[in-house]
Amino acid sequence: MPSIPMMYTFDPQTRVHTGSRPAQVVGGKPLTQSAYATATPPPDVISEGKVARWTGTQWELVEDHRQHLDSTGTKQGGTPFWLAGEDDWQSPPRYTEDLGPLPAGAMTTRPEKPLSVVREEKEHEIRSACDAAIIASLTMPAARPSATEVSMAAASLAAVDPDGPDTLLALHAARRDELLALVRAADSVAAVQAVEVSYAV
């Protein structure tokens, strides 16, 4: 008995290759004509990010950026993208439901935060670190001193050195102002992010 040919199935809507099966045999003859299968095998090698799609006469390789449902029905994978001129750094990623390349103007990396926002965040980090440095300088080795402990430490320092608290504040404030000046002089997001926030404690 002659071998039964394989049929290569495709999705009725997307026409994307879905698998293979032996041809049905009727009256001793294999049926190689089918609405959603072909006897033509798909390409042996399908590169990552592409799928084989039946055109009606042959298989073609097309980009596939879609998300796919896992066994629980949850969308997984896909290529996140943002549209230039429409999305910003706060925009959630978009996903396409169509086969083929991403839309014109699509970017696969999230838009950068604007320089003004990055500056504001860095300045907040500098001021918060300054406050933490002052507290640490007064209360070491306490890891999480209470407000009362901070006040008592400052009073103790003042009792020993009346100018001590002011000297300590001036030292950290000078470092804070130095860091803030670096941030304000930075002319790019990378330059702002390169400013290392550190205080001598």
Q: What is the pTM of this model?
A: 0.64
pLDDT in tens, 19-55: 999 999 888 888 888 889 999 999 999 999 999 999 9
- CA distance linking residue 59 with residue 29, whole number of Å: 25
What's 43-83 look like in SS3?
A: CCCCCCCEEEEECCCCEEEEECCCCEECCCCCEECCCCEEE
78 pLDDT above the threshold of 80: yes
- CA distance linking residue 77 with residue 70, whole number of Å: 10
